[in-house]
Amino acid sequence: MTLAVTPRVATHCPYCALQCGQWVGAGGEVDARDFPTNRGGLCQKGWTSGSLLAHPERLTTPLMRASRSAPFAAVGWDAALGHVAGRLRELQAQHGPDAVAVFGAGGLTNEKAYLLGKFARVALGTSQIDYNGRFCMSSAAAAGNRAFGVDRGLPFPVTDLDDAEVVLLAGANVAETMPPLMGHLGSARLVVVDPRRTPTAERALASGGLHLQPVPGTDLVLALGMLHVAVVDGYLDADYLAERTTGFDDAWRVAAQWWPERAERVCGVPAADMRRAVGWLAGAARRYVLTARGAEQHANGVDTVTSWINLALALGLPGRPGSGFGTITGQGNGQGGREHGQKSDQLPGYRSISDPAARAHVAGVWGVDPDSLPGPGRSATELLAALGRDDGPRALLVFGSNVLVSAPDANAVAERLAALDLLVVADVLPGETAMAADVVLPVAQWAEEEGTMTNLEGRVLRRRRAMAPPGGVRTDLEVISGLADRLGVAGFPAEPQEVFDELRAASAGGISDYSGISYDRLDAGEALHWPCPAPGHPGTPRLFTERFAHPDGRARLIPVDHTPSAELPDADHPLRATTGRVLVHYQSGAQTRRVAELSGVVPESFVEVHPDTAARAGLADGDWARVVSRRGAAEARVRCVPTLRPDTVFLPFHFGGEQAANRVTNPALDPISRMPEFKVSAVRLEPA
């Protein structure tokens, strides 16, 4: 007897930027497969990702309503897209092209990100497009561009970390956010920089490493103190600095003022621990400095990441075999999502929209006059703040983002969404933002579509379709193409490979050049990291081995100094609140809160508090508390954590409604990256 074998497809997890390899069956069954980032393992989120494919709350038909107070009614696709296109034309006729805005996501495939950017600039003629990656990687991207001339999260394969002797993780809790990555750090002595004793910090301490626990918002001071140690204690790599960098003297003039004992008084990290950490990094043959959101999500996030780059350059790490500097990208396509045009100031290939040569090249691919392309628009936070105002957009199209939960100052965001004349959300499940919309468009999920993603190493991957989407559901590409058609604009294909081939041409010659990458090469199993500028090119798994991307081939040390957080504690708000993720949830929680195995572990928001801090607020472990900032309040259950700093509280940002952490966060922006300050808000605690 011959047993039937259920066909399965090789694809990748829909969650973080590790893009772990998965097998997916025709019925949505998920299994791990061997792939360099996960090597046959998955985290809880990956193992349960298939349960969303047939979730009972799945959106399967377009929804419309006459007003925000009216109930939704199911309608056909022709009616929904016709209504949206008609309203967009009306609003632009009344208020101009920028009356319509577009908001994308770092979880969209490269093809979607590319077509969405083209749709905004060509079909709508609007400059008002940005995406939720502005909340994730923008500070590290800006710091990498000015230091190295290019932004790629890890400029080396993640497997290079396998033999590391020492790894410093600044603001990275990978044991919870990317558990399979910990398998690549098993041989390393870890130095973890985090205000909390996270599971990653616990792992460091258990294996003879260090946990450096700064006051939230003072990571830059810590890095300056460590650079001071590197100079004074004789750890500088002088030959490397002379041959491969510029700017050390200017950077040192600032760091010279931050001797470790002075830095300790500001950041709270013992000077002895700074010296020990620098000594470990300097004494190891294979060593890395890696940053993540904890270093970036500040109003001085670019300078903070730059301070860690300066330390890495002073020790001679970037571009050296077995050593390096990198940033751990968060969202599934956080890397590719910021390369192909859905960011307000960029065109495909990581080109600047203000560069005449870039505009001419991309306009040539699109078949339009370069002068017809709009200039740079508002960044994500500024775009949301402008919605519904006299000089702001009157309509917003959202693809793949849940801004009511993920954006800072969530109460203000809700007010701005309510002020719009038209809110359209393309989504898979009824998240908070979708349920606030006028029109909801149901779209396909990861296992129901074809496309490409670019993981944290700059490696381009194939997302393959394992099953058909439910009847009545369309892909995002089909939605964009359908809207363009109804707006009377040609040139918007819905077939992923056709879109990717156009993306290749648009990216050719750019920083992130995909022109040599094709579906055929990826399907043949080639490991292709950008830049890959020709069909026969092998790709570039390791950047900077011979030169950096600046014209002179040298990296830049940029002088940076400490500036206080945009908001400091006072008598009414004496604590610093910081936010982050937990093991079983992802981003705004719109997906993971609907998975029983995950939501059963963490079903509600919580606030970590030192027991003494809780007692002073009249709270005990398990009580419901209100965390109150100058912008709003979030409700959360108290968790007393003796290892937490007494001046700090922590909230996960995965929950909506009254439990949304971003009701308290500060929308203050980094002046370069326009990253909001998620990591520091002045708050007080009180009983709920």
- Residue 24 CA to residue 681 CA, distance in Å, equals 42
User: Which candidate, 354, 347, 412, 358, places its Cα nearest to that of 385?
Assistant: 412
pLDDT confidence of residue 531: 98
| Rounded CA separation 313/316 (Å) | 5
Structure tokens at 386: 């402008």
- Domains along the sequence of the chain with CATH: 8-52 (2.20.25.90), 63-136+333-494 (3.40.50.740), 138-328 (3.40.228.10), 575-687 (2.40.40.20)
| The length of the chain, given as a count of residues | 688
CA distance 338 to 133: 7
Whether the bond into 531 is cis, omega within 30 of 0: yes
Please state the φ and ψ torsions of residue 279, each to the nearest 5 degrees.
-60, -40
Angle (CA) 319-18-118 rounded to 5° is 90
Rounded (10°) angle between helices 301-314 and 219-232: 20
Neighbouring C-alpha atoms within 13 Å toward the C-beta of 293: 22
Q: Are 465 and 449 a contacting pair, CB within 8 Å?
A: yes
**Residue 3: predicted pLDDT:** 47
286 is written with which tokens?
């294979």
End-to-end CA distance of the chain: 65
Under-70 pLDDT residues of the chain: 1-6
Q: Closest Cα to residue 155, out of 297, 320, 341?
A: 320
Give residue-wise pLDDT tens across range 337-391: 999 999 999 999 999 999 999 999 999 999 999 999 999 999 999 999 999 999 9
Nearest Cα neighbor of 114 from 375, 426, 505 is 505
CB atoms closer than 10 angstroms to residue 34: 9
d(CA 416, CA 387): 5
The phi and psi torsions of 371 (rounded to 5 degrees) equal -70, -15
Q: Are 176 and 200 in contact (CB under 8 A)?
A: yes
- Give the pLDDT of residue 2: 46
**pLDDT at site 1:** 43
Evaluate the omega torsion of the peptide bond into residue 214 and state whether it is cis, within 30 degrees of 0: no
pLDDT score for 293: 95
